[in-house]
Each structure stands twice: as structure tokens, then as C-alpha cells.
Amino acid sequence: VAQQLGHGHDGPMGTGVSDRDGRREVAAAALVDSGRLLLAQRVSPPELAGRWELPGGKIEPGETPAEGLSRELREELGIEAVVGHRVGVEVPLPNEMVLRAYAVELKSGVPVALEHAAVRWVGVDELADVDLVPNDRAWVPALVELLTRG
């Protein structure tokens, strides 16, 4: 509601839309298909390049998290996806941002790395050995559960 009324808090970078706590959301996809999780390899910044993440991005003003995450997945991977429930803890980011993961199902298309170095599917047995970006490591227990119990 705050967003619709234009009462969202502008962060130091003038990022615009924010949640009711005044935080801008970054949404990431826990996309599971045939019992495996999709990971994408970052190309930037240098300290994260080569490491793997749940694909996603910043929610724009006027978008719901589901709309914003669907848009990011279309742009980054060329897929249509259905965004479901929250997964795991929320992770505070710098600049009044917060990172949240959502369970996502593939609706159509095959994920292609349009903005990443590569994409890969990992099973639950491989997850512990992947070089995940530090923020996403907090989700490993919840991802194991998602992959194990569906």
C-alpha cells in the first residue's frame, strides 16, 4: 500500500520502491525441476565472478516480487516461470536492500545464460560442494529441504 501511495522510502541511491520497512527487495529463484536446482554463474563484480547464485535481481517500482522475479528470469534466462512461496531466511544487503528467495517452477523454455557466464542444474548431493556466492549460502539448509521434500 505504501508503494501505491508513493510513500516508499528512497534509499541513498534513489532506488525508489521499498517494502514496508523501507527496504528495496532483491528476489532470487530457487528453481527446481526434476529434482535439481538451477544455479547461474556470476560475471560481476570481480569478487563474485565465477561463483554461483540463485538467479534474480532487483524488484522495480510498481512490481510485486513475483512480477519482478518473473521479469528477471525472462531477461536473464529466457524462460517463463511461476513464482511460489518464500524459501529460507531473508538476507540483509547494503543500501537498505533485502534479499529473499522464492520457490519457482519452470513454465516454458530452457534456461540459457543470457547475462551469466553459465547455468547448471545441481542435485541435493552436489549442493554442498558448489562455490555459492556468500549471501546465498544461508539458504543451503532450506534448499536441501526443498530438493528432498519437493
Would you tell me which residues interact with ligand C5P (CB under 6 A)? 26, 28, 48, 53-54, 56-58, 93, 99, 133, 135-136
CB of 134 to ligand C5P, least distance (A): 8
Which whole-number Å values give the CA distances from 49 to 17, 63, 133, in the listed order? 28, 28, 9
d(CA 57, CA 20): 19
Residue at shortest CB range from ligand C5P? 135
Helix (H) or strand (E) holding 14: none
Nearer to ligand C5P, 2 or 48 (CB): 48
**Residue 116 Cβ, how far from ligand C5P at the closest point, in Å?**
9
Rg (CA), the chain: 15
Q: What is the DSSP string of 86-138?
A: EEEEEEEETTTEEEEEEEEEEEES----SSSSEEEEE-TTTGGGS-B-GGGGG
> Which CB, 7 or 141, lies closer to ligand C5P?
141
Least distance CB 4 / ligand C5P (angstroms):
24
Cβ proximity to ligand C5P, 57 vs 88, nearer residue: 57
Task: Give the residue with the Cβ less far from ligand C5P, 7 or 134.
Answer: 134
The x, y and z cell numbers of residue 40, run together, are 547461474
Q: Which amino acid belongs to residue 38?
A: L
Shortest separation between residue 51's beta carbon and ligand C5P, angstroms: 10
Closest CB to ligand C5P among 115 and 126? 115
Q: Least distance (Å) from ligand C5P to the CB of residue 75?
A: 11
